[in-house]
Amino acid sequence: MTGAPSARVNAAAQAAPCVTDTHGRRLQLRKLTALDKLRLFKAAGPVLAQNQSWLGMAVLAASVAAIDDIPVPAPASEQQVEALVGRLGDAGIAAIGAALAETQPSAAEVAAIAGN
C-alpha cells in the first residue's frame, strides 16, 4: 500500500469493524494476529494463559483498537488487561463479543469449506 502513513492509518481504521455498546461508546475493533495472541499469552503469564475464562475476556478486550476514536494500545501485562476490561465493563465486553461472533463462520460454513 502506498501513500502517506496517515492515509494508511485512516484506511485501516475505516476497514476495521466498529460496534456501539449500550452506553453509546463507539468501539473500533482490530483483528488479532498470531503475534498479538502470543503477546497476550505472555502478558497473562503461565497460570492465567491456562484459564480459558480469563483468556477469553482478555482476547475480547485486546480486540479493541479505539474507544470513541481514541486509540487504545494493546495490553502488555495482566494489569493492563484488567484495566481495559474494567474500562470496557459488561456493556463493552458484551458488544465486542457479539460483534466478533458475527464475523466467525458457523460450523456448517467451516464444514462446507473443508469439504471443498
- Rounded distance, CA 85 to CA 34, Å? 21
pLDDT of residue 102: 78
Tell me the pLDDT of the chain (116 aa) as tens digits: 455 655 555 555 555 799 999 999 999 999 999 999 999 999 999 999 999 999 999 999 999 999 999 999 999 999 999 999 999 999 999 999 999 987 765 556 445 545 55
CB 75 within 8 A of CB 61: yes
pLDDT of residue 80: 96
Nearest CA to 87 out of 25, 14, 30 is that of: 25
